[in-house]
Amino acid sequence: MRVSGLPVLLVLLLTCLLPPAVQAQGFNLKELGKQLGLDEKTGNLFDQSFNTLRALAPIGYEEERALGGALAVEAFQRFGGPYNNQRLTQYITLVGTTVALHSDRADIPYYFAILNSPHPNAFATPGGYVFVSIGLLRLLGSEAELAGVLGHEIAHISRKHALRTLQRSQVLHRVSQLTLSVLDKDPAIFDRLINELSAKIFDQGLDQNMELEADRLGTEYAMRVGYQSTALARFLVRLSQRQERRHTGLFQTHPDPRTRARHLRQVARAPDAPNGRLLASRFKRVLEKSGIRRQ
């Protein structure tokens, strides 16, 4: 197969430079290649490569937030709705916002809520939505541990872990570009994306490597704020010692807590905050004033 240089270069350049909106309107690369003198086989090859590139193209923030918002609705639907406690929600938002402002993706807004579920769990959906169950809050012993848990979820958002799992999705191969307009006009595609992401985030959990990366980064973000670097690992050890059903909540969607704690100890950098704060009494005081009994 002999491929002529100039048409190939032109096709490649156009692929890179075309605005997403034009790509979304069914831009036909095969037809363009034909007009520039490429044979059908080469045209097909470029068309396939173009589709792969397009599927891997980063999803825009507005699309990410639309997916995350739809998944946030699913989170409330599946996990008991919101736990309505103004004082406690304010406190979670203060700790979470502080950690998010010290994360690697501080340029987007983050939203925090408590789920009315007795099972210990925490989730993040793309676009900045972070959830923690009342069951998990009852198990925490300090603000530093809470910061570690929220940091873990913020890391999933900052590293776009859930979105990265979509790159392997067959659904995305059917669309030219994931725009708000595509999501709105094709409810079946939006539905399939929500179902795929829900299964990953709420049922199966993300890949183990992503979870371990979120532990490491979450701890790093909390340390930047000034919290004790060992808090999350300590909580995970305590969690692993609990005698409860291992197929529910955090146990179902995250790797084994002992594995996570061991990994954290191995990868944690030397603490850069010599006076790392635990803030156990402030945490306990807020829970007490909010009428929450710790376990």
Partner 1 sequence: MRAAIRVGMAALLILFTQGVDARTVYVSRDRAALLDSHSVSGAVVGQVKRGQALQLIKKHRRWYFVATDRGLRGWIYRYKVNSNPPQTDANVFALLGASSNREAISESPSASVIRGLNPVSERQARRRGRSRQVIEAVKRMEQRRIVPATLERFLRQGRLAEFQEGL
Among 101, 285, 294, 295, binds partner 1 (CB under 8 A): 101
Q: Which of residues 126-145 bind partner 1 (CB under 8 A)?
A: 129, 143
Smallest separation, CB 79 to partner 1 (Å): 10
Check binding of 162 to partner 1 (CB under 8 A): no
Min separation Cβ 155 and partner 1, Å = 16
- Which is closer to partner 1, CB of 18 or CB of 237? 18
For residues 52-71, which are near partner 1 according to CB under 8 A? 61-62, 65-67, 69-70
19 binds partner 1 (CB under 8 A): no
Report, in Å, the least distance between residue 172 CB and partner 1.
Answer: 17
Which tokens sit at 177?
A: 């570009």
- 24 contacts 176 by C-beta, under 8 angstroms: yes
| Residue choice 102, 152, 161, 216 for contact with partner 1 (CB under 8 A) | 102
> 112 vs 251, which CB is nearer to partner 1?
112
**Measured distance CA(3)–CA(61) in Å, rounded:** 38
Point out which residues bind partner 1 (CB under 8 A).
5-6, 9-10, 12-13, 16-17, 61-62, 65-67, 69-70, 72-74, 76-77, 81-82, 86, 89-90, 93-94, 97-98, 101-102, 106-109, 111-113, 129, 143, 180, 183-184, 187, 190-191, 194, 224-227, 273-275, 277, 279, 282
